[in-house]
Amino acid sequence: MVQAQRACLTSDYIARQLAEDASFKYQLAEVEKFIQSSSGNTNIIMSSTRAGAEMTIKIPVVIHVLYNTQDQNITDAQIKSGLEALNRDFRRNNADTTNTPARFKNIAADVQIEFVLATADPKGRFTTGVIRKQTSITDFKMDDKIKFSSQGGSDAWDSKSYLNIWIGNMRNLLGYSSSPGSAPEKDGVVITTKAFGTINAPAPYHLGRTAVHEVGHWLGLRHIWGETYCGDDLVDDTPIQGGYTTGCPTGFKTSCSNGDMGDMYMNYMDFTDDACMNLFTVGQKNRMRSLFNDGGPRFSLLLSKGLNEPWLSESPLPEISPVNPVIQIFPNPAVNELTLVLSNAWLGKEISIQSINGILIQKVKITSLTTKINIALFTPGLYMITGDALGEKIHSKFIKL
């Protein structure tokens, strides 16, 4: 069951990264220096077709679905609804803009950022933009295991070219996000299974706004209360606010002597229920879009080929069950290198490569679910790969050309 109070742990996640990596503080400071120097430039990222007009930024997205049970393997329709919710709110096409208080209507913004499932993977092969993997992990936590195949998750695609969104079962946690400047292999957004999209997502997080909130973090936004009582979210047009807001309040609320403006508890970066969120501000828009300026931490996404027509006909490697002991071999036949696709059952185990006559050629210890083996010096012919997994002797064959 999804919890009754929004639980975004992005600020805790960043604090943990700071504690684990002393250099991360420097990275965050450099990103903030870049934002402050460029977010006031309103003529950045210009359209090539309309002089003087800001272009709509299209971001290639890859969705990693991690499921332990089949009911967690969310449908394509639910994934589609999650992308639609992101685009609805970032483009301010949400029907509940009518609920934006009059005092905030003139600063409510169409961010002009859209999110599109990738059509080409990092190697140029066709993709639906969705990766599905069964996992032995029953509940993911804020420990980034969901981001690594070797730990029961799914490896990130190149975060310079894609927004990685991981969806998996989490207990008492809606989601968390990396921040601009984070390690590339961990860069992206994590959402719990039952809070992504608008299908099969129970209230109060049924409008897809958990992803809207977390992607806001991924694009450099802070919580509207600035992570502390009467804190600063570094955006000029969001009023100072005493803390986070829960539930679905109505009417005027004030704190921190914010005067006639009052609290902006309907902002996507507060903790209110989905039904009571309805705006980003112009200041937040400028902060997010500044990241795409030349030299910014999200600039490379503008150069991504992730939305291009695929340029390589090779198919991606298949995903297999975490407990399936089968050894899958690609390509087969092979000339110089084999790729073994394995399940969690093989981690830490050893496999043997033998000639067809039973002569041992090589032993390999498995430390990754995708293991590459150099066979360039092997004599052409038929070979066997054998090993023990789950108490079962497994055999696979390959041909060296």
- Report which of 162, 131, 3 is spatially closest to residue 67, judged by C-alpha positions: 131
- Report which of 122, 83, 184, 155 is spatially closest to residue 308, judged by C-alpha positions: 122
pTM of the model: 0.79
Q: Are 353 and 364 in contact (CB under 8 A)?
A: yes
Q: Does the annotation count 392 as an active-site position? A: no
What the block records as the tokens of 150 is 């070797």
30-48 pLDDT tens trace:
999 999 998 665 445 544 3
The residue written with tokens 């089949």 in the block is: 70
β-strand pairing of 189-192 with 163-168: parallel
Instruction: Give the span between the Cα atoms of 267 and 276, in whole angstroms.
Output: 9
What is the model's pLDDT at position 51?
Answer: 40
Report phi then psi at 76, rounded to 5.
-60, -35
- Cis omega before residue 380 (within 30°)? no
* Options 54, 185, 214, 350, the catalytic residue: 214
The whole-chain average pLDDT of the chain stands at: 90
340 CB-side CA count, 13 A: 31
266-287 pLDDT tens trace:
999 999 999 999 999 999 999 9
Residue count of the chain:
401
Higher pLDDT pick, 110 / 9: 110
Full set of structural domains in the chain with CATH = 10-303 (3.40.390.10), 328-400 (2.60.40.1930)
131 CB-side CA count, 13 A: 28
369-389 pLDDT tens trace:
788 999 999 999 999 999 987
pLDDT reading at 211 higher than 60 = yes
Report phi then psi at 351, rounded to 5.
-115, 155
Residue 348's CB is within 10 A of a number of other CB atoms, namely: 9
Q: Give 356's pLDDT tier (boundaries 50, 70, 90).
A: confident
Higher pLDDT pick, 287 / 323: 287
The residue written with tokens 């960043």 in the block is: 14
% of the chain residues with pLDDT over 70:
92
Instruction: Give the span between the Cα atoms of 35 and 220, in whole angstroms.
Output: 9
What is the model's pLDDT at position 42?
Answer: 47
What the block records as the tokens of 29 is 């400071």
pLDDT reading at 303 higher than 80 = yes
Specify whether the backbone of 335 is left (phi greater than 0), alpha (psi in -120 to 50) or beta.
alpha
Q: Are 278 and 99 in contact (CB under 8 A)?
A: yes
